[in-house]
Amino acid sequence: MSVGFIGAGRMAQALGRGFISKGIVKPQKMVASDTSQSVLDVMKKQGIGTTTCNAEVVERSDLVVLAVKPHLVADVLQEISDFLTKEKMFVSIAAGVPLEVLESNLLLGTRVLRAMPNTACLVHAGATVVAPGKSIHSGDTSLVQTLFQTVGVCYVGTEDQLDAVTGLSGSGPAYAFTTIESLADGGVKMGLPRDMATKLAAQTLFGAAKMVLESGKHPGQLKDEVCSPGGTTITAMHALERGGFRGTIIDAVEASALKARKMGELELQKQEGRTLEIEQEVRMTKKMAEKN
């Protein structure tokens, strides 16, 4: 299988490294396009072919990963439309761009999936959910899942779950980074050196996450096991509850998910507008032909 990346930014670079390190796709079977020579140079160092032509990526690839900014997706798909065949499979990692928009800009029956990864893919600890489109073949979803598992965990979901995924794991690293920074600030306030405080905070979150994943216990149970009667941790938990810690985190996930939903709605509106323009052009062309 040959894989192409339209957009060679950090996520595409991470995926390329993952595919190579796990032996899923050989570097000589991959190609990436971008307008930035500096990011193409990163791909080139991995042994991946590079180009500035998106159409070349499509022609040389069985599976194409759309790794461009959401507002560029429709233009890119229009640019490569003359080079599409139904044999190609497309995976979009552009946040907020619905499958309907992707499928309407590709050949009818094209195999399309959406994926929502997060930045932890850069260190092979990512969390991704993939959602299949209407025309996928048997085995397509499991293939894409296997590809994303080279950079972390990957689950199969439905498109209507992706906004929530965006709010939780897509934006989630930022919540964790802020928590680490806040813990470190607390340590510094109480007398720890900054470097030590930051490393202790990061390791603490890493260890806690590992305990959840490996123990199979509910996070609440693990929390209770740390809270000794009348101890320091239950006192600290009281302070967190008084400050609305849980509610704030829930609000953050909700806000991010609603923003993602709004982005999807706007993309659909744009698509409807483009469809209307095309229909109007067709009607005008017919009228001109009838007059002549």
Same domain, 108 and 187: no
Same domain, 81 and 211: no
- Judge contact between 144 and 130, C-beta under 8 A: yes
Is residue 225, in this structure, part of any structural domain at all? yes
- Count CB neighbours of 76 within 10 A: 18
Maximum Cα interatomic distance, the chain, rounded to a whole number of Å: 91
Q: Residue 49's beta-bridge partner residues? A: 31
Is residue 51, in this structure, part of any structural domain at all? yes
Bigger pLDDT: 101 vs 270? 101
Same domain, 191 and 131: no
CATH number assigned to the domain comprising residue 205 = 1.10.3730.10
Domain boundary at 161, 187, 208, which?
161
Domain boundary at 135, 161, 187, which?
161
Domain boundary at 161, 186, 201, which?
161
- Judge contact between 141 and 169, C-beta under 8 A: no
CA atoms within 13 A on the CB side of 137: 9
Same domain, 154 and 199: no
Is residue 183, in this structure, part of any structural domain at all? yes
Is residue 267, in this structure, part of any structural domain at all? no
Q: What average pLDDT does the segment 156-184 reach?
A: 96
Q: What's the sign of the alpha-carbon dihedral 266, 268, 274, 276?
A: negative
Which alpha helices (DSSP H) does 81-193 contain, by range? Answer: 99-104, 140-148, 162-165, 172-189
CATH number assigned to the domain comprising residue 43 = 3.40.50.720
CA distance 212 to 221: 10
Same domain, 66 and 188: no
Q: What average pLDDT does the segment 97-112 reach?
A: 91
Same domain, 154 and 98: yes
Q: What average pLDDT does the segment 169-190 reach?
A: 97
Single-letter amino acid, residue 157: G
Confidence (pLDDT) at 96: 86
The answer to whether residue 283 scores a pLDDT higher than 90 is no
Single-letter amino acid, residue 258: L
Is residue 146, in this structure, part of any structural domain at all? yes
Match 């001109």 to its residue by tokens. 288
Same domain, 225 and 96: no
Same domain, 149 and 17: yes
Q: What average pLDDT does the segment 145-158 reach?
A: 96
Q: For residue range 116-125, what is the model confidence (pLDDT) as tens digits?
A: 999 999 999 9
Cα–Cα nearest to 173, from 142, 130, 128:
128
Confidence (pLDDT) at 150: 95
Confidence (pLDDT) at 266: 87
User: What letters, b where the CB count within 10 A reaches 16 and e where it falls short, cover 242-280?
Assistant: eeeeeeeeeebbeebbebbbebbeebeeebeeeeeeeee
Confidence (pLDDT) at 83: 86
Q: What are phi and psi of 2, to 5 degrees?
A: -105, 140
Same domain, 48 and 175: no
Same domain, 9 and 66: yes
- Judge contact between 34 and 40, C-beta under 8 A: yes
Confidence (pLDDT) at 26: 95
Q: For residue range 67-94, what is the model confidence (pLDDT) as tens digits?
A: 999 889 988 998 898 888 888 999 999 9
Is residue 273, in this structure, part of any structural domain at all? no
Confidence (pLDDT) at 74: 85
Match 């009228």 to its residue by tokens. 287
Average pLDDT taken over every residue of the chain: 92
Confidence (pLDDT) at 129: 98
Is residue 275, in this structure, part of any structural domain at all? no
Q: Which domain holds residue 187?
A: 171-243
Q: What average pLDDT does the segment 27-36 reach?
A: 96
Task: Name the token pair of 267.
Answer: 């993309």
Q: What's the sign of the alpha-carbon dihedral 179, 184, 188, 191?
A: positive
Helix (H) and strand (E) counts in the chain = 12, 8
CA distance 164 to 255: 10
Is residue 292, in this structure, part of any structural domain at all? no
Q: For residue range 239-259, what is the model confidence (pLDDT) as tens digits?
A: 999 999 999 999 999 999 999
Same domain, 204 and 231: yes
Number of domains into which the chain is organized: 2
Same domain, 97 and 127: yes
